[in-house]
Every structure is written in structure tokens, then in C-alpha cells.
Amino acid sequence: MSLSGGVDRRALGEALLELLEEDREFRHAVMGLLGYREVLERITRLEERFARLEERFAKLEEEFLELRRAQQRLEERQQRLEERQQKLEEHGMEERRVQRLRYVDADGRFIAPGATLEIDVYINEGDVWLVEVKSYVEADDVTWFYEKTRIAEKVPGRRPSRRIMLAVEATKAAARAAEALGVELLADKIVEEE
């Protein structure tokens, strides 16, 4: 069939364009004849690879953020350790002379059978100081520390001359409890209860 023999070129062109726009299979068939199928397949593969790369990037970004959070926690811990050491030095304690008392009450003489009691002990020229270091102290923390020191007194050779709690922050109730129980509460800041 000849295009000059009675077929309206304009109508044919419009029909072809309409088919290309609306019929995906026809569009792909024409593109295949023109060599676009290979290009299209490559583009499709590139899009798939790009999608996988985006997924990997998102995972790497999340891992990076988690590492950053872990780094921040380590930096905060380092800061707290430095503050702890400074507080100890301000009150005449050398950190290298602090030991961890770990007592397992196997038969339940002082606490529940098999329970473990841990407390820091500082020995200075024969004096025994029992020490607790916390970032935030409430009244219950003071009471529990006091109870731990009473139990530690029963362990041979550990009768304390001082009970000391070091804290970044403590509540007013904690300060009152410490005063009532004879615990020295050394806090940077006394705050209202929450």
C-alpha cells in the first residue's frame, strides 16, 4: 500500500502517535524495531541497580547514625568518668585506691540466698569509705545504698568510717534521706522531684 495512493498521511501519523501513547505493547514493538529495546532493557537494569544502591545507602546511613549515637554515648561516659575522677580528687580520694567489694551471700545470711552485693570501697590510711557513684540520685537510691553499707559492715574488715554518694544530680528528697541516714551526698546539683 502506497502512502500517496489515498491514505491520509496526517490521519495515519495521528493514529500512530495515539497508538504509541496508549498501547504499551505496540510502543515496545516499535522501539524494538528501532533498536530501543536494548536501550530500554539497559535502563531498566540500571534503575534496578540504582534501587538496590539506594537500599544499601539507606542501610549504611542507619548504621552510620547508630555508630554516631554509640560514639556520643562513649563520649558522655568518658565525660562522666572524668567528672567522677575530679570529684574523687576534690574529696581526697585517689581513684586507684578504690576497690570493688563483691559479696555473694550464698547461704542468705544478710540478703537473699545467692544474691550479690557490689559496692565501691576506698581505703585511706586505715579508714574505710563506702562509695556509690550515680548520675541521678533519688531517695530510694540513698536508702538502698545505706542498706548495702549496713550489709557490707558485716563482711569482715569492712566497717566504714564514711558513706559517700557522688552524683551529678540528686533530688531534694535524696538530700533529706542522706542527711537522716548519715550518708554524705556530694551532688553537683540538687533538683526538684519529677
pLDDT in tens, 45-93: 999 999 999 999 999 999 999 999 989 988 887 787 677 667 667 766 6
Query: Tell me, what's the pLDDT at 6?
Result: 63
Instruction: Find all residues with CB under 8 Å of 5, minimum gap 6, and list them.
Output: none
Q: d(Cα 133, Cα 168) in Å, to the nearest integer?
A: 9
What is the rounded distance in angstroms from the CA atom of residue 77 to the CA atom of residue 71? 10
User: What tens digit of pLDDT does each residue of 136-174 get?
Assistant: 899 999 999 998 888 888 766 667 788 889 888 899 999
3-state secondary structure of 109: coil
Closest to 101 (Cα-Cα) out of 158, 144, 143: 158
pLDDT in tens, 87-134: 667 766 665 566 777 778 888 887 888 888 887 776 666 677 888 888
Could you tell me the domains of the chain?
A: 91-191 (3.40.1350.10)
User: DSSP per residue over 56-83, as a string?
Assistant: HHHHHHHHHHHHHHHHHHHHHHHHHHHH
Look at residues 88, 107, 90, 106 and name the one whose alpha carbon lies nearest to residue 98: 88
